[in-house]
Amino acid sequence: MVEPGVQIGPYEVREPLGSGGMGEVYLARDPRLGRELALKLLPPQATDDVAPVERFVREARAASALNHPNVITIYEIGEAEAGWYIAMELVRGETLRALAGTAPRSTDEVARLGAQIARALAVAHAAGIVHRDVKPENVMVRPDGYVKVLDFGIARLVSTDAGRMTAVEAPPTVAGRAVGTLRYMSPEQACGEAMTAATDIFSLGIVLHELATGTHPFAAASEVATASAIITAAAPAPSALNPAVPAEFDTLVARMLDKDPTRRPAAVEVELTLAEIGRGPTVAVPTRKTTAPERHTVGREGERRMLRQALEEVESGHGLLVSVAGEPGIGKTTLVEEFLADVSGASRPLRVARGRCSERLAGAEAYLPILEALESLIAGPHGTAVANEMRELAPSWFVRVTPASNPTGPGGATLETRGGSSEQMKRVWARSRFASASRSISTGSSTPSFCSGVRASAAHQCVLVNARSRSRS
């Protein structure tokens, strides 16, 4: 155990956060940047064997190769007197273990969490990386609902052939033991056979089943019995244990838990299916309201008029980004939601998409609400048209939203799977026709400010208009 105040590399240890098979994790501070981070330390005695060091380095390399909001960010790897260390993003929240294996979770919650995990796996698989240890303990859920996939310590690079992943032999293990966590292994993993990305899909299927039912689908009295059930037994349908589970969820989980890895869905398909399940059944609504919606704000006619004028400008063929600026708590969200209710009730071909804003997103992840809104549009009924628009105008954003759906860009050029950096994405946003014009509407802030659409905070409510596809978020 490292005492608080000890210096490891450039970092100052504050307090222990936890420990596991690959070492101890500490809360630390980087005095150079003035930020807190998580420091994973491999004890010096572990360096006597080359295997733990190789696994430690593999974790850092695999995770750092992926630049995605749902994958933990690696800052650096180094060696100090206290041992090898990995400096990584500090994720506040709790692991999925706190939710899995207890009471069944709602289908909406399972779909929301599962879609984010699948999204992270899709990015990894597109980069040729198989996680091989997908389980509740390796997934963190932040207080704002964002998921982070952790621990790529046994991740494995696989070869690709014409965009398709091919199997690789599992590396030798101690005493013939398969690599991974037994309760969440795929059948081929439990048998020590060759693996592809499909092994992560099976493991995620177990996690989804456990979240939806509160019960592990292959629970048994011993490790041997558990392994036998994973290899040979059929998992019960989630709805048999939780009648609230819809048939679509049953079908998806059954496909994910297929013993034949070639018949399991890809991570991208899992994400899109869960997103659809999370939206629930489509309810028909009248195209035109017979009465005006109930008003909850007073004295905002000027702002409503400006929003209506902005929409009319967009309908004439001009893209526009509108920022409703003001202090927190003065009714920006209510104003925009009332406006959207008004225009959605009219006979206009509009589509609404939303992204969650949070003060926690200020900085490197400030563009996440925009990504979330775009993802919902692509997962919607007009997703193909939106995807084609994004592929043409903002390819670095496109690969973030659909990381494995189309690996090549115009002329057959390979798109960068990881997408651009935060700054690159902001530059693409600024010059693209998605944000060809901008306007700020003050709602009473003493210092009105312009919201670029990638620095969203509680002080701003952003409205994005895409002139070509008539999409609005």
Q: Which long-range contacts (CB under 8 A, 24 or more apart) does 339-348 make?
A: 339/304, 339/307, 339/308, 340/472, 341/293, 342/292, 342/293, 342/304, 343/308, 343/311, 345/286, 345/287, 345/288, 345/289, 345/293, 346/288, 347/287, 347/288, 348/315, 348/470
* Cβ atoms of 358 and 144 closer than 8 Å: yes
User: What is d(CA 336, CA 308) in angstroms, rounded to the nearest whole number?
Assistant: 11
Q: Residue 394 carries which DSSP code?
A: -
Annotated catalytic, 133?
A: yes
User: What is d(CA 292, CA 287) in angstroms, rounded to the nearest whole number?
Assistant: 13
User: How many Cβ atoms sit within 10 Å of the Cβ of residue 213?
Assistant: 24
Which of these, 430, 440, 429, lies nearest to 463 by C-alpha position? Answer: 440
Which of these, 396, 400, 358, lies nearest to 71 by C-alpha position? Answer: 400
Beta bridge pairs of residue 38: 27, 88
Token code pair at residue 15? 């307090």
Q: Which long-range contacts (CB under 8 A, 24 or more apart) does 11-14 make?
A: 11/37, 11/39, 11/85, 11/87, 13/39
30, 133, 144, 200: which one is catalytic? 133
Cα distances from 334 to residues 178, 407, 439, 449, 451, in angstroms, run: 54, 40, 19, 19, 18
CA atoms within 13 A on the CB side of 48: 2
* Cβ atoms of 421 and 67 closer than 8 Å: yes
User: What is d(CA 356, CA 362) in angstroms, rounded to the nearest whole number?
Assistant: 12
Sign of CA dihedral 103, 108, 111, 114: negative
Catalytic residue list: 133
